[in-house]
Structure 1
Amino acid sequence: MTNEHRPGTAHEYPGGVRACLEAVLMAADAPQQAADLAQVLGCDAVEVEAALEALRDGYDAQGRGFELRRTALGWRFASRVDYEPIVAAFVADGQTVRLSQAAMEALAIIAYQQPVTRAQVAAIRGVNSDGVIRSLSVHGLIRQDGVDPESHAALLVTSAMFLERMGLDSLDQLPSLAPLLPGSVDDVA
């Protein structure tokens, strides 16, 4: 988004800052940062952040079928979780990308062990994982972040899109694996 074709600030548009934010976010194909929106609208970033929060709170209070969600990548409109079964029924099969079991395994290993090399993922899975790692990279769920100092192999980490798709703000929100490991309290009984 550029400022070149901007006729004025958001204050000069009908509806003000909130209406402008709604219009831009509806047209955006990716989440938007408040600072970027402020620059485009010619507003103060604090004002834009407050307007986004007010919009979010207003939609929540109205019980709309959608919500304004702040994610790791920025602000975006999304269907409310309560309506997920209805939306899923509407979306035709095949329109959403479903990861294979192998891809899910590799993604879990990368998410919990990052940074990790391809060889380490393969060693944990017990099979060559190059194909699934390539698929995860193409889908934008993982990315390379540096090299291993010993092997000089690329280090893999999850991407911001991974957080977005998982509905997480940070990796700290990943569920604990402890209850699923052998020898947990539940397995002793």
Structure 2
Amino acid sequence: MSDEERRDSLADQAAAWIPPWERPTPPRPDGTDEPPGEPEVPVEPEPHAAIPAEPEPHAAIPAEPEPAAGAEPEILDTYRSSRTETVQDPLRESAAEPAGEIGVGVPGKRGRRRPAPEPEPAPVLDDAELRGALEAILLVVDQPVSELTLAQVLEQSPERIGPMLDEIAAGYTAAGHGFELRRAAGGWRLYTRPEYATYVERFVLEGQSVRLTQAALETLAVIAYKQPVTRSRISAIRGVNCDGVIRTLVSRGLVEECGTEADSGAFLYRTTTMFLEKLGLNSVDDLPPLAPFLPDDVEELADATR
């Protein structure tokens, strides 16, 4: 074929060419006139990411054997009901349990404990029983006992102890007993009455000599009125060395050390609770004043010793 014939053939083909959008639509096999499109591809749902299973907090429940096929309907219903009652959701149990309660030893509940039961309040004693309890305790104490200690032992209000002790003391005095209840060394204790002291002394001290010497009494008086005081100050007041006497008073439990002086570092001495107890005093403020016992020329004597 020559070049001219080839060009005529291509021109005829170009003239006879019809664009696709202008071509007639051929009939579909199902009889519809819709243009054939791309076949529909079923879209499968996108699978979700696998959620890691949380570890079961409880022990695995052993699987019960399924009932055999063809079992009676009553057996099947009993099996389903037992499975429903046995297997429970632990999350529902923990959510249903009220917050703040703590259950120790309760199966299926972890991390919660039940509050400890509150102690029952102590019974309130009536006046007669309280009086008897106080008298029984005061008969066995070997040193003055405070009102707070008595209230704690009897589990009663401290506001009731003080008035009751005052009432007991007033009753002993009104009845004329040979003993009395009084305050001493910050507490309460039973004492014999002063008018019967000679009989008690005869019974206790018969054949014994427990009296302090004159030097010990003078030294004890200086410490009682000048406390806290150093040894040098005591010796300066008495005019003699008091080291041996102070050791005797310390061994008897009437005097004790109570620190050191800031300037010199010397030991300081003061009277003890036993001193107050033996003299029947509540505090050193109850000591009698010294002015009535001083001589009239005390100032002249002080000037003479300087």
Q: 1:44 deviation in Å?
A: 0.8
Q: Note the alpha carbon deviations across 1:130-184, whole angstroms, 9 max, x for none.
A: 2211221222222222211111011111223222222223323322323333435
- Structure 1 residue 9, shift from structure 2 partner: 5.6
Cα distance in 1, alignment partners of residues 204 and 277 from structure 2: 20
Partner of 1:48: 161
- Equivalent in 23, 34, 38 of residue 151 of structure 2: 38
Q: Does 1 or 2 have the higher relative contact order (CA < 8 Å, sep 6+)?
A: 1
Query: What corresponds to 1:103 in structure 2?
Result: 216
Query: Which residue of 202, 208, 233 corresponds with 1:89?
Result: 202
CA distance in structure 2 between the partners assigned to 1:96 and 1:167 by the alignment: 21
Distance apart, 1:10 and its partner CA: 7.3
The match for 2:131 among 15, 18, 22 is 18
Alignment of 1:92-171 (within 5 A): 92-93=205-206, 97-171=210-284
Aligned length: 177
Call closer, same or farther: CA 1:127–1:60 in 2, change over 3 Å: same
- CA RMSD after TM alignment: 2.4
Alpha-carbon spacing, 1:32–1:64, altered in 2? closer, same or farther (3 Å): same
Instruction: Mark the runs of 5 or more structure 2 residues left unpaired by the alignment.
Output: 1-121, 299-306
Kept in 1, the 8 Å contact 2:131–2:168? The answer is: yes
Q: Which runs of 5+ in 1 are unaligned?
A: 1-7
Structure 2 distance, partners of 1:137, 1:9, is: 45
For residues 56 and 85 of structure 1, the distance between their equivalents in structure 2, rounded to whole angstroms, comes to: 22
Identity of aligned residues (%): 49
Aligned to 1:175: 288
Q: Which amino acid aligns with 1:123?
A: A
Which protein is richer in helix relative to its size? 1
Deviation, 1:30, is 1.2
Equivalent position of 2:63 in the other structure: none
CA distance in 1 between counterparts of 2:145 and 2:259 reads 27
Q: In the alignment, is the contact (CA less than 8 A) between 2:184 and 2:283 conserved in 1?
A: no
C-alpha distance in 2 between matches for 1:40 and 1:172: 29
* 1:3 aligned partner: none
* TM-fit CA distance, 1:38: 0.8
Residue identity matched to 2:190: F
Alpha carbons of structure 1 residues 178 and 11: separation in structure 2 relative to 1, 3 Å? closer
Is the contact between residue 186 and residue 283 of structure 2 (CA under 8 Å) also seen in structure 1?
Answer: no
Instruction: Name the stretch that deviates more: 154-163 or 173-182.
Output: 173-182
- Larger radius of gyration between Structure 1 and Structure 2: 2
Aligned to 1:59: 172
Of residues 181, 189, 209 in structure 2, which corresponds to 1:76? Answer: 189
